[in-house]
Amino acid sequence: MADTTATTGLNSLISQYGTDSAKIKAGITTDSSAETSSSDSLADKNVFMELYIAQLKNQDPTEPQETGDMVSQMAEFSSLEQLTEMSSSLTSMSEALVSSQALTASTLVGKYAYVDQDTISYDGSNSASIKVSIPTDSTSTSISITDSSGNVIRSGSLDSDGKYTWDGKDDAGEDVAAGDYNIVATSKNVSGESTQLTAQVASRINGVSLNGTDGTSLNINGYGTLKLTDTIDIIG
């Protein structure tokens, strides 16, 4: 027969942390309202093992305690512990990824990124880098820089990579005034059909926004924000 004091201690543990079937076996009234608390308590490794060892030590050799529930709880506890460790690892990885993105983004401030724009905000001194995607059926391309009235200021051709650099001069080689200018890029195929192309202008990266709705993003001068996860062509 088990010691009365030890049995009382075991019953106390069972009443606090045990399963319903273990409580019934020990003659303890179950309380459904405490089910959640009991489940949470079993998440503590030390409490669980204390209960398990106490049950084994104090069972009646002629009528041993039912161990099926305890084995089941051990399996559940092992799974819970592994999931907890996995969750902790994923959280650490996520934090490391955010830190890495922030560090990467901060090194881009002051550089330039190509963004979709059909205008150039010319400051009167710095040249503008322009890029377009040339169709595969293109036989020739052209690009024009026009003023607000549609007058052609400068015309030229795109290189094989679809890039063009405007130095701020007109076709006569004279400097133009600072201001906004439009980009008109076209392509012709073998049939002579003309297609207007979407232009991209290299714009300065002024800053970085962290942990926004779109995650880490770049603040582009005259454009807005660009997600770091987007395909970005960086120059400078």
The verdict on residue 88 lying in a domain is: no
pLDDT bracket for residue 200 (50, 70, 90): very high
Residue 163 has pLDDT above 60, yes or no: yes
Q: Please state the rounded mean pLDDT for residues 191-197.
A: 90
CA 83 to chain centroid: 22
Specify whether 9 is located in the same domain as 75. Answer: yes
What domain count does the chain have? Answer: 3
* Total H helices, total E strands in the chain: 5, 12
pLDDT of residue 11: 58
Question: Does residue 4 or residue 167 have the better pLDDT?
Answer: 167
Specify whether 212 is located in the same domain as 157. Answer: no
- Within 59-154, residue ranges assigned H as helices are 68-106
Specify whether 165 is located in the same domain as 230. Answer: no
The verdict on residue 185 lying in a domain is: yes
The verdict on residue 156 lying in a domain is: yes
Give the whole-angstrom CA distance, residue 113 versus residue 105.
12
The verdict on residue 97 lying in a domain is: no
Give the whole-angstrom CA distance, residue 231 versus residue 161.
17
Specify whether 156 is located in the same domain as 209. Answer: no
Specify whether 106 is located in the same domain as 215. Answer: yes
The verdict on residue 94 lying in a domain is: no
Its pTM stands at 0.56
pLDDT of residue 82: 74
The parent domain of residue 154 ranges over 119-197
Specify whether 133 is located in the same domain as 193. Answer: yes
Q: Please state the rounded mean pLDDT for residues 118-141.
A: 92
- How confident is the prediction for the chain on average, in pLDDT? 77
Maximum average pLDDT range among 56-60, 167-171, 219-223? 167-171
User: What pLDDT, in 10s, does the model give residues 70-119?
Assistant: 566 666 666 766 777 787 777 777 666 766 767 777 888 889 999 999 99
pLDDT of residue 181: 96
pLDDT of residue 67: 57
Q: Is the dihedral of CA 115, 119, 124, 128 positive or negative?
A: positive
Give the whole-angstrom CA distance, residue 175 versus residue 172.
9
The verdict on residue 41 lying in a domain is: yes
The verdict on residue 165 lying in a domain is: yes
**What CATH number has the domain bearing residue 148?**
2.60.40.4070
The verdict on residue 160 lying in a domain is: yes
Residue 2 has pLDDT above 50, yes or no: no
pLDDT of residue 215: 74
User: What pLDDT, in 10s, does the model give residues 26-60?
Assistant: 555 655 544 444 444 444 566 666 766 776 676 66
Give the whole-angstrom CA distance, residue 232 versus residue 230.
6
Specify whether 125 is located in the same domain as 186. Answer: yes
Q: Please state the rounded mean pLDDT for residues 200-213.
A: 85
Q: Please state the rounded mean pLDDT for residues 194-200.
A: 92
Specify whether 106 is located in the same domain as 123. Answer: no
pLDDT of residue 235: 83
pLDDT of residue 197: 92
